[in-house]
Amino acid sequence: MGLGNKLSMMLSVVIAAAILVLAAPANAQVYLTEEEVQQITSKTNSFQGALDGVMEGEVVKFTILGPDKFAYEYVKAGERIEFTERLARAGGRKDGNPTVNFKQPDQDEVRFEFLPDGSIQFEFWEPGRRAGQTRNNPAMAKTILTISADELAPGETEITEARKEARAAATEILAVGKYKSKRWGTIIEMNADGSFSETGPGLNIKGFFIKDGNELCFDVVEGNCYDVVGPNADGVFELTYVVKKMQSQSQNHMAGQKDEYIPVK
């Protein structure tokens, strides 16, 4: 084989190797082993902290339900979300902290990072706003969760009569019943007191709707609000995202987008 052919072959190998490097995912997931997961999830399973940023004033409680099952609760709003996800290393690094990420059906994103001191760093982003300088991101909320005591002291989660009435009045906008979201494919069950459950693959959310003016809102900080039309002849409600969000000064970038709640027999 001549020198030229050898150089050509070597160049081809180098190019092929470069293509493989470029094609490899920048942040491939590095999942924890069963033993590592057991070490984390077999310890204290409940953590709690007060949020800042766009969710200032709310309290989040995080609970480990199993090796790949977790729940977090916005305590003051009474909203609870259960989900299934594997623990992975932060940043796809083998030495990264154990982390679990979750994207809600409404596209809000949350992240729980287990820190070496035994606490958990919680981060929340509005839909599509995670990129960039997250530490100074106005669409973000964060806190350090520490080992939780029992429940909050009595009175801290007290719901006023006016708020109870506004929650029950949500049924004037969305009737009591069971629906399927056309947009997200989840099942929503609406109850007479304004409480709801939303379920889907690896998802179980419980919370409250509230009537705010003529709009239907999730009664939680940063909760989406909708203009609702219906029911039509088939019992379908059309929901349109509006600009405002509950208990927040931020605006909903999904404003104008629609969903349909289709009755489930």
Q: Is the pLDDT of residue 12 over 60?
A: no
Alpha carbon separation from 48 to 66, 107, 126, 145 (Å, rounded): 18, 23, 21, 5
Do 124 and 199 lie in a common domain?
no
Token pair of 90, please? Answer: 């932060």
How far apart CA 199 and CA 209 sit, in angstroms, is 15
Q: Is the pLDDT of residue 18 over 70?
A: no
φ and ψ at 128, to 5 degrees?
Answer: 70, 10
Give 90-144 pLDDT, tens digit per residue: 888 888 899 999 988 777 888 999 988 888 999 888 776 665 444 455 567 788 8
pLDDT at position 261, please? 96
Q: Is the pLDDT of residue 9 over 60?
A: no
pLDDT at position 43, please? 62
Pair 92, 214: CB distance under 8 Å = no
Percent of the chain with pLDDT over 90: 28
| C-alpha dihedral, 46 to 145 to 77 to 85, nearest 10° | -60
pLDDT at position 132, please? 47
75 within a domain of the structure (yes/no)? yes
Which residue, 116, 147, 178, sits at the end of a domain?
A: 147
Do 61 and 92 lie in a common domain?
yes
E strands within the chain?
46-50, 59-66, 69-74, 79-84, 88-89, 98-103, 109-114, 120-125, 140-147, 177-181, 187-190, 195-200, 203-212, 215-218, 223-229, 237-246, 258-263
Which residue, 147, 176, 201, sits at the end of a domain?
A: 147
Do 232 and 257 lie in a common domain?
yes
Task: Quote the domain boundaries for residue 213.
Answer: 161-263
Average pLDDT, the chain: 79
Give 174-196 pLDDT, tens digit per residue: 999 999 999 888 899 999 999 89
DSSP character for 32? P
For residue 246, what are the β-bridge partners?
Answer: 223
Q: How many domains does the chain have?
A: 2
192 within a domain of the structure (yes/no)? yes
Do 51 and 88 lie in a common domain?
yes
Q: Is the pLDDT of residue 50 over 70?
A: yes
pLDDT at position 37, please? 83
DSSP character for 118? S
Least confident residue range of 110-114, 116-120, 211-215, 225-229: 116-120
Q: How confident is the model at residue 20 (pLDDT cuts 50, 70, 90)?
A: very low
For residue 98, what are the β-bridge partners?
Answer: 89
CATH number of the domain bearing residue 244: 2.40.128
Q: Is the pLDDT of residue 55 over 80?
A: no
pLDDT at position 126, please? 76
Do 141 and 199 lie in a common domain?
no
Token pair of 14, please? Answer: 């180098």
19 within a domain of the structure (yes/no)? no
- Looking at per-residue pLDDT, the higher value among 124 and 1 belongs to 124
Do 197 and 94 lie in a common domain?
no
Q: Is the pLDDT of residue 203 over 80?
A: no
Which residue, 147, 176, 202, sits at the end of a domain?
A: 147
Rounded to two decimals, the pTM is 0.58
Do 186 and 243 lie in a common domain?
yes
Determine if the peptide bond prior to 67 is cis (ω within 30°): no
